[in-house]
Amino acid sequence: MRNELPLTVIGNLVDDPELRFTIAGVAVARFTVVSTPRVFDCDTHTWRDGEPTSVDCSAWRQLAQKLAGSVSKGARGVVVGRRRTDRWGSPEEEKRSRMVVDVDDVGASMAFATVTIARTARPVPPREIAPDDPWATARPVRPAAPADATETLAAAEAQF
Mean pLDDT of the chain: 80
The 3-state DSSP class for residue 43 equals coil
pLDDT one-digit tens code per residue, 37-48: 888 888 888 888
CB atoms within 10 A of CB 92: 5
pLDDT one-digit tens code per residue, 120-153: 776 666 666 656 666 566 566 666 666 565 566 5
Dihedral of alpha carbons 83, 65, 10, 87, sign: positive
pTM of this structure = 0.64
